[in-house]
Amino acid sequence: MRQINVNNIESELQKAAQSKQNDAFYAIHSFPTIFVSQSEEYNKQYAIEHNINVCHSYNMGGTIVANAGDIDIAIFYINGWEIGSKILELIRQYLIQFLPNISICNNDLLLEYKYKMASYASINCGDNMIYTAIHISNNPNIELIKNICTKPMRKIPQGVGEHGININNILEVISNNLPTMQ
């Protein structure tokens, strides 16, 4: 899995989707970034006024707000529908040693069934190429999320960094196990 510059996320996503070849990369955010799908459910004016990076992505559903220190992973695999759930389970297995009340609920990794620490979504890009987006929170900015998102927050974001867990260790666990996920 390769690291990309956070400024190149949108172009890297487009390039990977068009290549129709297996690929995996990640970005560690150094500034807030908003991932929006076709629905564009976010406060555009706030993003402009606060000079927040907006990435038009293939993600499903609503808006993803990445704060500095968060990690976003993109995996493009042919017939790779199960990769998101497998990676979430890898993260859960790592975190359970520190956070015994961590569990998976659908496509979210939740602490005490209400604090969202990571999530994934998958979409078919055509020709059986499955794009899976994984977001791992480190230290979420709740005020930024409330100001950006136009839909009410159903789960409370919480980051692994808030529990003294090094997010790079999670990234290492994923990287070391990614080839076995085909």
Pairwise pLDDT comparison (60 vs 7), residue with the higher score = 7
Give the confidence band of 40 by pLDDT, cuts at 50, 70, 90: low
Rounded-to-integer distance, Cα 128 and Cα 81, Å: 9
Q: What is the pLDDT of residue 180?
A: 57
Most confident of 18-22, 89-93, 132-136, 172-176: 89-93
> Which tokens go with 111?
């602490």
Mean pLDDT across 68-77: 91
Does 39 have pLDDT greater than 70? no
Give the confidence band of 171 by pLDDT, cuts at 50, 70, 90: very high
Closest CA to 69 of 146, 3, 153, 161: 161
Per-residue pLDDT tens over the stretch 105-144: 999 999 999 999 999 988 888 888 888 889 999 999 999 9
| 92 touches 109 (CB < 8 A) | yes
Q: What is the pTM of this model?
A: 0.89
The owner of tokens 């970005």 is: 27
Domain boundaries, the chain: 2-181
> Which tokens go with 103?
């569990």
SS3 content of the chain, % helix, strand, coil (to 5): 30, 30, 35
Q: What is the pLDDT of residue 136?
A: 95
Please give the CATH architecture assigned to the domain spanning 2-181: 2-Layer Sandwich (3.30)
Give the confidence band of 177 by pLDDT, cuts at 50, 70, 90: confident
Q: What is the pLDDT of residue 58?
A: 63
Per-residue pLDDT tens over the stretch 89-112: 999 999 999 999 999 999 999 999
Closest CA to 9 of 61, 55, 53: 55
